[in-house]
Amino acid sequence: MRLRHILEGESSSDDNEEDEESTAAMEWKTSHLSSAIGKPQRTKRYKNILMLSEWLLKIPNDFADNWILVLCPIGKRCLVVAAKGQTKAFARNGYMIKCFASRLPGGNRRDGRRYKDGCVLDCIFSEASKTFYVLDVIHWNDVSFYDSEAEFRFFWLTSKLNECPEISDISDLNEYKFVCLNRHKCNLKSVETAVQEKREFTEQIDGLLFFHKKSHYTPGVTPLVCWLKENMIKDVFYTNEDKQQIATCGNDRMES
């Protein structure tokens, strides 16, 4: 199974801890050497894992009842894999962009359970704030979430991350912060409120992701996840009559 290979890496399944330590150290050294000479590692195993969106061109009939909104900060979309005592972040094309210690399950070598636990997360990385904003969960310890509905994944992910408060602070064992992105209802009022109110990130909004509550985590593009830029909200949400009324009100204000 591909997910199992992601967590286990390219090393053999030998249970000998010394061999695993040696392999992990070699991987760490290679990755940092590659970064130092400007040649990031690329691994096909980590390519095309993330679930991608289609543009939101019109509002679905069940939008208010069956969709969930997530505001996305400006950053780099990436796959975060914590296993065997280290944490790696991979770009959509499979390139490794970070190798570091984290307090995620299996994410650092000083965690006594590092070879048993592990997780795979869908994140947005902000270099400016040294933060991984967690968008979704793919795997956590022995549980795969490919076949779980989005509404359940989000609830479960929030609960688990709340059990790990140490991941929200930078430390020797957690070199980058992990922050769970908030979820919002899907109607015009809640969308506008979410955009205007104080957010869990300081970066500018890159766009809005809309997830169907029943959608499974599917690698690649899916119509059950939709993307919208902030400046397109009125074009998509407002009818022609709404836009005309807004324009009229705007003219009235300018004339008064």
pLDDT digits (tens, 9 = 90+) for 206-225: 999 999 999 999 999 999 99
pLDDT at residue 188 tops 50? yes
How far is residue 122's CA from residue 138's CA, in Å, rounded to a whole number? 7
Q: Answer whether 25's CB lies under 8 Å from 11's CB.
A: no
| Alpha carbons within 13 A on the beta-carbon side of 122 | 23
pLDDT at residue 80 tops 60? yes
Residue partners of 186: CB distance under 8 A and separation at least 6? 63, 64, 67, 68, 69, 210
pLDDT at residue 41 tops 60? no
| Region for residue 87 given its phi and psi (left: phi exceeds 0; alpha: psi -120 to 50; beta: otherwise) | beta
Domains and CATH numbers, the chain: 2-255 (3.30.470.30)
Among 222, 121, 220, 210, smallest CA distance to 164 is for 121
pLDDT digits (tens, 9 = 90+) for 95-142: 999 999 999 999 998 876 556 789 999 999 999 999 999 999 999 998
What is the band of 52 on the pLDDT scale with cuts at 50, 70, 90? very high
What local confidence, expressed as pLDDT, does residue 255 receive?
Answer: 33
What local confidence, expressed as pLDDT, does residue 74 receive?
Answer: 94
Share of the chain above pLDDT 70, in %: 75
What is the band of 15 on the pLDDT scale with cuts at 50, 70, 90? very low
Which of 40-44's residues contact partners 24+ apart within 8 Å by CB, and which partners? Answer: 40/95, 40/96, 40/97, 41/95, 41/96, 42/93, 42/94, 42/95, 42/96, 43/90, 43/94, 43/96, 44/94
Among 223, 216, 198, 212, smallest CA distance to 71 is for 198
